[in-house]
Chain A
């Protein structure tokens, strides 16, 4: 360790002047005064070993620090589900996250109670290679987004109005794309199944928009989950969240008019490497 603790910094100048024996005596006295009960001060990583034996709350409550009102401060792991640290300790050892500070050990200091369950894994290279990556932009002047919430869709684009698709713009179509296929789906399933409101294949890779109510030349419309060859947004209740999805395909699937939108989607996912996504919400009234 390049750094020294405060005790070490204090002791170092004395060491230069005193004999080794004196230094050792001073160091030992300093260690006792500093309350060093053993253990390295170096922090561990989350993947280190855990020796959690008590919750942060328990330790924090007896730290006796008056500054920053330790007792008032939220304590890590001070949740009902994390109480009973014995089981968490085992969990932590199994799942990886240590309780880093615990390994730093000592008889004092705060502890982090590892969360229950295994640590989530980042997408693997294989998943990234096979995934449909949300890398394209897809936007609509009719869908104005707000932070954290999908943009709202006006009733004119639903069965409460003209039931006409809005203008959509896109960009970032990857090189080598031979066909674009546009989908509109309910985010939440209907009768526990994917619900497709609109599917349009045969869009040219050189295109960058579809205008409201105008079907581009060469476009092929599929059969939606309402059983109609066309577009419709018609929630059964007060509203729904929808997802526009524009898939870029490196090879054409060449579906015919009235294709089964739900079935074609699996083929699309097997082929497509890129997608543009635009969530939108429609609420009645």
Chain B
């Protein structure tokens, strides 16, 4: 009798531990929150890069400004998103004989999801594709189309309400952007702010 009771007790303890583990796991999935409350439905996060540069090895190509529009939602408690627009402005190279004839984000929308890397919330942008067409008769990339592809992870600062993308955040999130078969560097600082149903509300991810 005592053995049976012990077995039942052990089973209950094991179940409790399992439940606790799953509960911890579920709560660890980051979600979009406004004023501390989980987002219900969708919201639009819209902003402009405070600073951003993309370094393609050999020929540094920079865009002075760019904007983004991200529709976010929580699906099964986990934050997801869809980058639907990303207009670029004032893109140039570091060579006076090479100009950026055209450049644009392609195959939008790009999917995104929230994750946690060592307790820090991250946003992962997937399926990135940016095509760049260079011109300049004396340019090594004259009439050449270069495509940047891959995924990019940026850390989210809940206090400053910004997302930061750089070599460290890409490495930490095990993401990479490539062009010319090589990793490229992307540095960007973006504000995260809602513009639809939760305007003026504090946006956080946890």
Q: Do the beta carbons of A132 and B145 come within 8 Å of each other?
A: yes
Kindly state whether residue A65 has any CB partner on chain B within 8 Å. yes
Q: Do the beta carbons of A3 and B42 come within 8 Å of each other?
A: yes
CA distance A45 to B144 in the complex (A): 31
Interface residues in A169-192 (C-beta closer than 8 Å to B): 185-189, 192
Tell me the nearest residue of chain A to B41, going by C-beta: A3
Q: Do the beta carbons of B69 and A45 come within 8 Å of each other?
A: yes
Q: Label chain B's interface by main secondary structure.
A: strand
Q: Do the beta carbons of A131 and B59 come within 8 Å of each other?
A: no
Interface residues in A94-132 (C-beta closer than 8 Å to B): 96-97, 100-101, 104, 106, 108-110, 112-124, 127-128, 130-132
Interface residues in B69-111 (C-beta closer than 8 Å to A): 69, 84-85, 87-91, 95-97, 100-106
Q: Do the beta carbons of B46 and A115 come within 8 Å of each other?
A: no
- Given the interface contacts A115-B90, A120-B103, does A131 sit within 8 Å of B133 by beta carbon? yes
CA distance A112 to B66 in the complex (A): 11
* Segment with Cβ contacts to A, from B6-14, B18-26, B113-121, B159-167: B159-167
Q: Do the beta carbons of B183 and A127 come within 8 Å of each other?
A: no
Q: Do the beta carbons of A100 and B69 come within 8 Å of each other?
A: yes
Chain A residues near B140 (CB-CB < 8 A): 185-187, 194, 243, 245
Q: Do the beta carbons of B48 and A112 come within 8 Å of each other?
A: yes
CA distance A69 to B59 in the complex (A): 39
Q: Do the beta carbons of A65 and B200 come within 8 Å of each other?
A: yes
* The residue from A43, A97, A148 contacting B195, defined by CB atoms under 8 A apart: A43
Interface string of B158-187 (1 = CB under 8 A from A): 111110000100000000000111111100
Q: Do the beta carbons of A124 and B143 come within 8 Å of each other?
A: no
Chain A residues near B179 (CB-CB < 8 A): 134
Kindly state whether residue A278 has any CB partner on chain B within 8 Å. yes
Kindly state whether residue A77 has any CB partner on chain B within 8 Å. yes
Interface residues in A240-285 (C-beta closer than 8 Å to B): 241, 243, 245, 266, 269, 275-279
CA distance A2 to B18 in the complex (A): 39
* The residue from B47, B101, B141, B167 contacting A147, defined by CB atoms under 8 A apart: B167
Chain A residues near B46 (CB-CB < 8 A): 43, 100-101, 112
Q: How far is the CB of A120 from chain B (nearest CB, A)?
A: 4
Q: How far is the CB of A186 from chain B (nearest CB, A)?
A: 8
Interface string of A128-156 (1 = CB under 8 A from B): 10111110011100000111111100000
Q: Do the beta carbons of B58 and A241 come within 8 Å of each other?
A: yes
* The residue from B35, B87, B103 contacting A96, defined by CB atoms under 8 A apart: B87
CA distance A72 to B146 in the complex (A): 38
What are 8 A-to-B residue pairs whose CB atoms are below 8 Å? A3-B42, A97-B87, A117-B90, A120-B100, A120-B102, A123-B103, A148-B55, A148-B185
* 8 A-B pairs with the lowest CB-CB distances in the bound complex, closest first: A122-B104, A148-B185, A279-B58, A115-B65, A67-B202, A131-B145, A43-B44, A115-B89
